[in-house]
Chain A
């Protein structure tokens, strides 16, 4: 019988050891057990993308994983992006400057999806950005400002990587 399990998981660089019920979703574990409410919960069946986090560096839906499955793995959430309040991640800065959000509900999932995308595609076309965004629903912006923000983020991240 294993309906509860002890897990050890690294979240934003900090190791947490917890006893979790088998059925506890990773999204609920992050929000309720660790208090990391930046990961938002939308549809809870893998369609909206709001709960996207990075598992071992790859974007995945945290509502489609059980917390127990992350035992021994490493997670990054939106809280792990900025160094502090005055030093946002370049993609966060770009979303601020280009008005890439209105209500902000979908934003954390979009950021966690787009960072690996931009790392693999430093110079994406608008079409590629739109395709990469297709797994994240936004009901406010009409997407145009999100596309602009991702494009600005690409330029910022490229500038940083080239050391200028």
Chain B
């Protein structure tokens, strides 16, 4: 029995969960999929006095079509995101990314909201939220507010959520026609934490010029990192080899701030970022072009 002892609550409704969170405040931790929290408790890095288990909140497990955007409940399991047909149709970048999120055994439990609230800079899902322009809904008591993805992620394992707030819903605009996308990462083994990863989303106009681009990196700083200068350098440009090379160099040399780890030095991470930027942009371009011709 490794974790320190705690009191366990398993509310059946969001309102009950909010009441409990309000009562226990900082003493309590919310248990979603538990695939990061429980290891931390097993190591006793985390020793919450109270655990509020959200796994009975069926009302937070959904994928809803808003005709122009999808709303996903915070307790939707990662395995469902991987296979959901609405997500595959409207957010193919998310579908493409999911098999990279740990192993199937982990995705069977892990949730979208849990991963976002944990805000691990090596995680894929926060990167995708920035790349797709998500907004996130938090509830506290009877109040609710929407937070944009860049405002939500505050740094290492830190979000904008207040101690009495629960992340309940994530809204993602459809990836429309003319959008190209790609996600790639390099990990020592399939399912391991990646050494580097990149999501690229581009929007082409009728002439095939790039209207807008967004490049977002994992393990490249204290949170999911958007390379704004590199992304900006692509808008209005023909995405030829030289424009792609310039963006890759700007992002990998000037913008990302990798820490390095046991398996990769910061220099190697920059090298990976450079190479992955080129590859993701080329694939995104091919996909956007194909989309335009249809």
Contacts and interface: CB of A to CB of B under 8 A. Distances in A.
Interface in B100-120: 102-106, 108-109
B1 A28 contact: yes
Contacts of B104: 59, 113, 117, 132, 135
Nearest to A134: B190
Given A22-B51, A45-B39, A46-B35, A58 B189 contact: no
Nearest to A44: B42
B7 A2 contact: yes
A5 B8 contact: yes
Given A23-B1, A65-B109, 15 more contacts: A21-B5, A23-B3, A23-B5, A24-B1, A25-B42, A44-B39, A49-B105, A59-B108, A60-B109, A64-B34, A64-B39, A64-B109, A66-B34, A69-B34, A113-B105
Interface string A12-34: 00000000011111001000000
A63 interface: yes
Nearest to B192: A134
Contacts of B108: 55, 58-60
Interface centre among A49, A64, A69 (most CB of B within 10 A): A64
B213 to A, nearest CB: 31
Given A45-B42, A45-B43, A135-B191, A22 B105 contact: no
Interface of B: 1-10, 34-35, 38-39, 41-43, 51, 53, 55, 79, 102-106, 108-109, 189-191
24 contacts: A5-B8, A23-B1, A25-B2, A28-B1, A45-B39, A46-B38, A49-B105, A59-B104, A59-B105, A60-B105, A63-B42, A64-B35, A66-B34, A69-B10, A69-B55, A71-B10, A113-B104, A113-B105, A131-B190, A134-B189, A134-B190, A134-B191, A135-B104, A135-B106
Interface of A: 1-3, 5, 21-25, 28, 44-46, 49, 52, 55, 58-61, 63-66, 68-69, 71, 113, 117, 131-132, 134-135
A61 B103 CA distance: 11
A139 B116 CA distance: 33
A121 to B, nearest CB: 11
Contacts of A64: 34-35, 38-39, 109
Contact of A66 (B4, B8, B39): B8
The majority secondary structure among interface residues of chain A is mixed
Contacts of B1: 21, 23-25, 28
Contacts of B189: 134
Contacts of B42: 25, 44-45, 63
Nearest to A29: B1
A66 B106 CA distance: 15
A21 B5 CA distance: 8
